[in-house]
C-alpha cells in the first residue's frame, strides 16, 4: 500500500531513505532546513569503505556500494572505483595485514584482496612514502565520491526520477505521531516520518538524546587545493594507524602488539583518535585525516 513518507534532513541518510521509499512506490517529501544540505554529508572523505566493516555489517556496506554503482550508471554523479591500499611501514603493521589477508581467504572479502610487496605497492600510488615501507594490502571494493557534488546532485535526480518532493529552507520543529510541523507554522500529515537530522537529532528529541546511548563525535581533517600536473593519488590510502581504527581488523590476534606499541610510543594518537587516510576527488583535491573526539569536549 502506498504511504505518505516524510523525511527530516537531506543529508546522505535522508536521501538514501527517500530513494528506498520512493522505489517501493511511496509518496515522499524531504524537509531540509538549509538551501542545500551542508552537514557531515559534505564534509567527509567521500570514501565508500567496505573493507573497514566487520562480518556483521559488511553485507550492509556491500549493499550501499551497490547503490552507489547504480547511481554511477544512472546519473551524472562522479564515482571512482579506485580501491584502497593499507600500508605497512612497521613489522607489526605488516603482520596484521598478512593475518587479515589469510583469515579472509574463504571470507566475503577474500577474492577482493591482494597482498602486495613493496615494489608492487609503489607502482600503484605515487603517494607512498618509500622510507621503511614494507608492503600493502589492496582491496578492489572501495570507491570514491565527491560528497559536495553528490549531495547537491542527488535531490534533482531523485525528483526527476521518482517525483520526490524537496522542501528546502524548511526547518522541522516537531515530528511525532504522523504529524510534522515546520518553523513557518505549516503542519503536514504522514503515514511514516523518518528523522535523518544527523547530530541535530538532539534538537528535535532532547530527552531521547540524553537517555539513549548516543554521543557526538567531532572529526578534524583537511582538504588540499587541486594537485598540480594532474597528479593522481590512485587508490584511497590508509596507514598502519588505521588498522586499529576500523573494527574489521579486530579479528587479528597480531593487532594487540601494534596497538600496544602505539599506546606506548604515541599515546596522544589514541587520546585524539588519530589515524591517517587520504582520498582524492574528481577535481584533484586530496582529503587527509582524521581525528575523533567523543562526547562534549
Ligand X SMILES: Cc1cc2nc3c(=O)[nH]c(=O)nc-3n(C[C@H](O)[C@H](O)[C@H](O)COP(=O)(O)OP(=O)(O)OC[C@H]3O[C@@H](n4cnc5c(N)ncnc54)[C@H](O)[C@@H]3O)c2cc1C
Q: Which residue lies nearer to ligand X by CB, 44 or 248?
A: 44
Q: Which residue is nearest to ligand X (CB)?
A: 11
The single residue among 22, 26, 28, 31 that binds ligand X, judged by CB under 6 A, is: 31
Q: How far apart, in Å, are the Cα atoms of 152 and each of 21, 40, 249?
A: 20, 13, 34
Site string for ligand X, 152-171 (x = CB under 6 A): -------------------x
The single residue among 5, 6, 7, 9 that binds ligand X, judged by CB under 6 A, is: 9
Q: Determine if 254 is a binding residue for ligand X (CB under 6 A).
A: no
| Minimal distance, residue 253 CB to ligand X, in Å | 28
Residues 92 to 111 in contact with ligand X, rule: CB under 6 A: none
Residues 208 to 227 in contact with ligand X, rule: CB under 6 A: 219, 221
Q: How far apart, in Å, are the Cα atoms of 238 and each of 45, 141, 144, 157?
A: 12, 14, 14, 32
Q: Do the Cβ atoms of 194 and 7 come closer than 8 Å?
A: yes
Residues 167 to 196 in contact with ligand X, rule: CB under 6 A: 171-172, 196
CA atoms of 175 and 173, how far apart (whole Å): 7
Q: Which residue lies nearer to ligand X by CB, 46 or 240?
A: 46
Q: Which residues contact 243 (CB under 8 A, 6 or more apart)?
A: 86, 93, 96, 97, 249, 252, 255, 258
| Minimal distance, residue 98 CB to ligand X, in Å | 26
Conformational region of residue 11, where left means phi above 0, alpha means psi within -120 to 50, and beta covers everything else: beta
Q: Which range of residues in 2-10, 116-124, 135-143, 206-214 is near ligand X by CB under 6 A?
A: 2-10
The single residue among 197, 239, 248, 280 that binds ligand X, judged by CB under 6 A, is: 197
The single residue among 180, 204, 238, 255 that binds ligand X, judged by CB under 6 A, is: 204
Q: Which residue lies nearer to ligand X by CB, 99 or 293?
A: 293
CA atoms of 186 and 154, how far apart (whole Å): 26
Q: How far apart, in Å, are the Cα atoms of 269 and each of 129, 245, 277, 279, 293?
A: 20, 11, 14, 21, 11
The single residue among 6, 7, 14, 79 that binds ligand X, judged by CB under 6 A, is: 14
In 10 A of CB 134, how many CB atoms?
Answer: 17
CA atoms of 174 and 6, how far apart (whole Å): 12
CA atoms of 90 and 87, how far apart (whole Å): 9
| Minimal distance, residue 151 CB to ligand X, in Å | 8
Q: Which residue lies nearer to ligand X by CB, 61 or 252?
A: 61
Q: Which residue lies nearer to ligand X by CB, 94 or 249?
A: 249
The single residue among 93, 95, 142, 200 that binds ligand X, judged by CB under 6 A, is: 200
CA R_g for the chain: 21
Q: Determine if 6 is a binding residue for ligand X (CB under 6 A).
A: no
Read off the DSSP letter of residue 59. H
Interface contacts to ligand X, rule CB under 6 A: 8-14, 31-34, 37, 39-41, 43-47, 49, 171-172, 196-198, 200, 204, 219, 221, 289-290
Amino acid at each position: 500500500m502506498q504511504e505518505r513518507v516524510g523525511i527530516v534532513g537531506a543529508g546522505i541518510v535522508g536521501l538514501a531513505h527517500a530513494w528506498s521509499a520512493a522505489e517501493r512506490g511511496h509518496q515522499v517529501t524531504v524537509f531540509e532546513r538549509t538551501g542545500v544540505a551542508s552537514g557531515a554529508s559534505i564534509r567527509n572523505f567521500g570514501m565508500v569503505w567496505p573493507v573497514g566493516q566487520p562480518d556483521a555489517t559488511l553485507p550492509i556496506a556491500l549493499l550501499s556500494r551497490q547503490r552507489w554503482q547504480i547511481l554511477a550508471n544512472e546519473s551524472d554523479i562522479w564515482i571512482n572505483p579506485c580501491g584502497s591500499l593499507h600500508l605497512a611501514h612497521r613489522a607489526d603493521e605488516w603482520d596484521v595485514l598478512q593475518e587479515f589477508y589469510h583469515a579472509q581467504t574463504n571470507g566475503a572479502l577474500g577474492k577482493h584482496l591482494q597482498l602486495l610487496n613493496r615494489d608492487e605497492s609503489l607502482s600503484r600510488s605515487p603517494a607512498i612514502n618509500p622510507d621503511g615501507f614494507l608492503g600493502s594490502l589492496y582491496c578492489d571494493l572501495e570507491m570514491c565520491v565527491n560528497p559536495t557534488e553528490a549531495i547537491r546532485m542527488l535531490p534533482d535526480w531523485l525528483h526527476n526520477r521518482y517525483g520526490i518532493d524537496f522542501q528546502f529552507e524548511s526547518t522541522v520543529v516537531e515530528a511525532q505521531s504522523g504529524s510534522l510541523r515546520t518553523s513557518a507554522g505549516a503542519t503536514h500529515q504522514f503515514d511514516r516520518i523518518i528523522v535523518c537530522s544527523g547530530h541535530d537529532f538532539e534538537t528535535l528529541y532532547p530527552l531521547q538524546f540524553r537517555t539513549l546511548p548516543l554521543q557526538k563525535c567531532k572529526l578534524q581533517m583537511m582538504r588540499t587545493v587541486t594537485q598540480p600536473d594532474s597528479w593522481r593519488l590512485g587508490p584511497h590510502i590508509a596507514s598502519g594507524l588505521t588498522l586499529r581504527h576500523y573494527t574489521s581488523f579486530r579479528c587479528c590476534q597480531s593487532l594487540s602488539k601494534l596497538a600496544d606499541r602505539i599506546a606506548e610510543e604515541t599515546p596522544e594518537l589514541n587520546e585524539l583518535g588519530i589515524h591517517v587516510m587520504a582520498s582524492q576527488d574528481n577535481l584533484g583535491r586530496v582529503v587527509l585525516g582524521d581525528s575523533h573526539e567523543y562526547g562534549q569536549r
